[in-house]
Amino acid sequence: MFSVRSGGGNDVISDFEAGQGLGDLVSFVNNPFGTMSFDVIKQNMSQDGVDTVLTLSDADSIRFVGVSVNAFVADDFLWG
């Protein structure tokens, strides 16, 4: 599990396995988007070469090295 909080800066995750049932999980310690849903998370993702960047704010992001935006599913994230 990778715990993420807003105010944490720009993080890089190099060994994340996205997709249904693969076991890796991003847990949001505090809510960076206000209203959280997988749709909101996907709207804040962009493809940068072979990496996915999830922008949490102007100063916070997560780079998933070698993971396509299309590989992510709702089960990859935990909030609440």
Q: For residue range 60-77, what is the model confidence (pLDDT) as tens digits?
A: 899 999 999 999 999 999
Question: Structural domain boundaries of the chain?
Answer: 2-78
What is the percentage of the chain residues whose pLDDT exceeds 90? 51
DSSP string for residues in the chain: -EEE-TTS-EEEESS---STTS---EEESS-SSSS--HHHHHHTEEEETTEEEEE-SSS-EEEETT--GGG--GGGEE--
Instruction: Please give the average per-residue pLDDT across 17-37, as a whole number.
Output: 78
Residue 33 CB: number of other CB atoms within 10 A? 15
